């Protein structure tokens, strides 16, 4: 793995940076976060006393809390998220761009005096285990105690990181304010924020500036802002990958271990897959990470990966004993919940936790709620923040700084049509094409027609810190390097969501997805046969016991049916999307699209022949 980051523009010393921002933001006091349990406990105690969070009933959720946000501060604000690269073309057509100096000037005006009446917290943090070869450091300044508490779960914080920075380690400056100064006599609110919001990234200088929001994705700057947007630029420059991927380990009945990285857009079952309980006897799945992975070529020539985070920031609604029992077991205590409902007995509830809501709920806005209210009790984007180490399925070595060798990469979307249950890419270039064309359907498709697609290449569209076309080329370049050392992982695409003509799910999903995972592992081991199709290789007849999953023969065939007219229509839609990148689009991606059309345009559908 890369031993040190590529040098960038010199950064002033940490103390100088803090002093400059104290002068600009004018906080009442400055608190350095040391990472101790005592300091965090005191912070949470003060938040409860001030009415910012609610302590839950310890008989049900020990040492757990509920935060309620401002109703206008409940999700990432993508329209106010900017990549402020020196050149607009480096941001690309899928990012919002602002000229960096003009943006800095506007931000300076917003931040002037923004912390008056508040505390500035100085939060040194590490993405990845402190001292790891692929770990990177940052320092966030914030006036939100909620952010400090959340970052203390999601990252490694405190003096151990500060020592590294003071010893000369490079670090990413991350400045955040809720933008709600308090003048003498002003009454504070539980969740301060500002109607004006900016989340800005400066790739060349590796800086992040966020104003106006206290919501996790906008304010916990170690997560999407650092670990993906800025880290993707660092990875491009240093020869590795920063990805919106889960990590898991599969152990087969013979005790062989395999490691998988998988990218899924939102609402595609990513967390459920990361915490999979396989329906197959003798197969064990362990969690290494649920959201972000950093992958780098190791000294052995293989692609190795770490989970740079230390916690889970998951969506609560839809998480229940039937969909993700592991997540439910993880949330027994030591958890910060945001915008879920509160039960009469002091515990929490959200849609999907139980089939019937309990009586006497208070909704996420703090208002009484009944099933007749006509609105959800928990906000659809309500969250839980909990330490990864608390997950029952977490691998014992999940935070090994050396990471794990990646055997396969999986891409998935939410597709009712066209995309098979599982398909194996022919090679790395074909795998990059599969990743570049991930999509989910917004609307149902009529027979032979295409539903409206939401494109999300590599599940990174909102999170790539530079031009997505250059990002695709970087993937191709990483593959070229891995081929020289013989360490290229297999690439696969999965789709748990295909439906029949009546709109019925064809595959049961959840634990039964372990059968698909087992086939992938056996392909990696060179043991499972496959059949060739225009889309790639699929399981040969008899390799997956689908009947044991409750799937009939007709439905199994439908899961892999190749509808050439519909796929050719989708190829046109794909081309229109890729054309947005102009001449920057790698020729290899265009070549793969042309090859797909050629395979689909054959006089008759290609037969399925066994391949090794």
Q: Using an 8 Å Cβ cutoff, are 256 and 525 in contact?
A: yes
Quote the CA–CA distance of 100 and 564 in Å, as a whole number. 47
Tell me whether residue 414 is annotated as binding.
yes
Tell me whether residue 383 is annotated as binding.
yes
Tell me whether residue 510 is annotated as binding.
yes
Residue 383 φ then ψ, to 5°: -135, 160
Q: Using an 8 Å Cβ cutoff, are 195 and 179 in contact?
A: no
B/e letters for 524-551, b = 16+ CB within 10 Å, e = fewer, are beeebbbbbbbbbbbbbeebbebeebeb
Tell me whether residue 334 is annotated as binding.
no
Quote the CA–CA distance of 423 and 421 in Å, as a whole number. 7
Tell me whether residue 479 is annotated as binding.
no
Tell me whether residue 523 is annotated as binding.
no
Quote the CA–CA distance of 172 and 175 in Å, as a whole number. 10
Tell me whether residue 244 is annotated as binding.
yes
Tell me whether residue 76 is annotated as binding.
yes
Q: Using an 8 Å Cβ cutoff, are 202 and 234 in contact?
A: no
Q: What residues contact 10, with CB distance under 8 A and at least 6 apart?
A: none
CA 379 to chain centre: 19
Tell me whether residue 36 is annotated as binding.
no
Quote the CA–CA distance of 515 and 507 in Å, as a whole number. 11
Report residue 169 as tokens. 């380690």
Cα distances (Å, whole numbers) of residue 335 to 78, 364, 368: 27, 17, 23
Report residue 66 as tokens. 């509920």
Quote the CA–CA distance of 260 and 522 in Å, as a whole number. 13
Q: Using an 8 Å Cβ cutoff, are 250 and 492 in contact?
A: no
Q: Using an 8 Å Cβ cutoff, are 173 and 138 in contact?
A: yes
Q: Strand 96-97 vs strand 81-83: parallel, antiparallel, or unpaired?
A: parallel
Tell me whether residue 447 is annotated as binding.
no
Whether 464 is a known active-site residue: answer no
Tell me whether residue 313 is annotated as binding.
no
Cα distances (Å, whole numbers) of residue 441 to 96, 180, 388, 433: 24, 39, 31, 18
Tell me whether residue 254 is annotated as binding.
no
Tell me whether residue 239 is annotated as binding.
no
B/e letters for 131-156, b = 16+ CB within 10 Å, e = fewer, are ebbbbbbbbbbbbbbbbbbbbbbbbb
Tell me whether residue 471 is annotated as binding.
no
Tell me whether residue 224 is annotated as binding.
yes
Which helix (H) or strand (E) segment holds residue 119: the answer is strand 119-127
Tell me whether residue 128 is annotated as binding.
no
Question: What residues are paired with 351 via a beta bridge?
Answer: 354
According to DSSP, residue 215 is labeled: S
Tell me whether residue 75 is annotated as binding.
no
SS (H, E, C) 241-281: EEECCEEEEEECCCCCEEEEEEECCCCCCHHHHHCCCCCCC
Tell me whether residue 202 is annotated as binding.
no
Question: What residues are paired with 259 via a beta bridge?
Answer: 249
Which helix (H) or strand (E) segment holds residue 140: the answer is strand 136-142
Helix (H, G, I), strand (E, B) or coil at 549: helix
Q: Using an 8 Å Cβ cutoff, are 411 and 492 in contact?
A: yes
Set 84, 268, 391, 464: catalytic member = 268
Helix (H, G, I), strand (E, B) or coil at 287: strand
- Binding-site residues for Mn(2+): 224, 244, 291
Annotated binding site: 76, 215-217, 224, 244, 266-272, 291, 381-383, 414, 510-513
Q: Which residues are annotated as a binding site for substrate?
A: 76, 215-217, 266, 381-383
Question: Known catalytic residues?
Answer: 268
Binding residues for GTP: 267-272, 383, 414, 510-513
């Amino acid at each position: 793995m890369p031993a040190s980051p590529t040098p960038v523009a010199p950064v002033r010393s940490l103390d100088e940076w803090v002093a400059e921002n104290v002068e600009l933001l004018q906080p009442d006091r400055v608190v350095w976060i040391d990472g101790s349990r005592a300091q965090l406990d005191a912070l949470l105690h003060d938040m409860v006393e001030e009415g910012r969070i609610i302590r839950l009933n310890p008989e049900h959720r020990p040492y757990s809390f509920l935060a309620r946000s401002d109703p206008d501060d409940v999700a990432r604000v993508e329209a106010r998220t900017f990549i402020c690269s020196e050149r607009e073309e480096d941001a690309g057509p899928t990012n919002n761009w602002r000229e960096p100096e003009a943006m800095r000037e506007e931000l300076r005006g917003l931040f002037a005096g923004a912390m008056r009446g508040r505390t500035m917290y100085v939060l040194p943090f590490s993405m990845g285990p402190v001292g790891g070869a692929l770990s990177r450091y940052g320092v966030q300044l914030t006036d939100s105690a909620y952010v400090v508490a959340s970052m203390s779960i999601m990252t490694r914080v405190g003096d151990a990181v500060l020592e590294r920075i003071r010893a000369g380690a490079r670090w990413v400056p991350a400045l955040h304010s809720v933008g709600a100064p308090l003048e003498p006599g002003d009454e504070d609110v539980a969740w301060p924020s500002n109607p004006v919001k900016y989340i800005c990234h400066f790739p060349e200088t590796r800086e992040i500036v966020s104003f106006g929001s206290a919501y996790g994705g906008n304010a916990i700057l170690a997560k999407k802002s650092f670990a993906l947007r800025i880290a993707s630029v660092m990875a491009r420059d240093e020869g590795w990958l920063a990805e919106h991927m889960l990590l898991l380990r599969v152990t087969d009945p013979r005790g062989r271990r395999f490691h998988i990285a998988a990218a899924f857009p939102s609402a595609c079952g990513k967390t459920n897959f990361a915490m999979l309980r396989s329906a197959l006897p003798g197969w064990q799945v362990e969690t290494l990470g649920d959201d972000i992975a950093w992958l780098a070529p190791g000294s052995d020539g293989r692609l190795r990966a770490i989970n740079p985070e230390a916690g889970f920031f998951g969506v609560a609604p839809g998480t229940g004993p039937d969909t993700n029992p592991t997540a439910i077991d993880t949330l027994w205590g030591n958890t910060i919940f945001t915008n879920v409902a509160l039960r009469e007995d002091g515990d929490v509830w959200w849609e999907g936790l139980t089939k019937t809501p309990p009586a006497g709920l208070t909704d996420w806005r703090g208002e009484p709620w009944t099933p007749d209210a006509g609105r959800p009790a928990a906000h659809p984007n309500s969250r839980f923040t909990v330490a990864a180490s608390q997950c029952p399925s977490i691998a014992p070595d999940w935070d090994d700084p050396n990471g794990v060798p990646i055997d396969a990469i999986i891409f998935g979307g939410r597709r009712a049509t066209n995309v098979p249950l599982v398909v194996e890419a022919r090679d790395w270039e074909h795998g990059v094409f599969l990743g570049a064309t991930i999509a989910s359907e917004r609307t149902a498709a009529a027979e032979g027609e295409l539903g409206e697609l939401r494109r999300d290449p590599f599940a990174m569209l909102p999170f790539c810190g530079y031009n997505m076309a250059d990002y695709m080329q970087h993937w191709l370049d990483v593959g070229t390097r891995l081929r020289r050392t013989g360490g290229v992982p297999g690439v696969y695409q999965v789709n748990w969501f295909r439906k029949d003509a009546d709109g019925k799910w064809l595959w049961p999903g959840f634990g039964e997805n372990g059968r698909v995972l087992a086939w992938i592992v056996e392909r990696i081991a060179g043991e499972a046969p496959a059949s060739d199709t225009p889309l790639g290789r699929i399981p040969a007849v008899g390799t997956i016991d689908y009947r044991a999953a409750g799937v009939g023969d007709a439905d199994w065939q439908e899961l892999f049916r190749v509808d050439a007219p519909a796929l050719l229509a989708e190829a046109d839609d794909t081309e229109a999307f890729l054309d947005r990148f102009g001449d920057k689009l790698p020729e290899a991606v265009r070549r793969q699209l042309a090859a797909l059309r050629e395979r689909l345009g054959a006089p008759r559908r290609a037969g399925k022949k066994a391949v090794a």
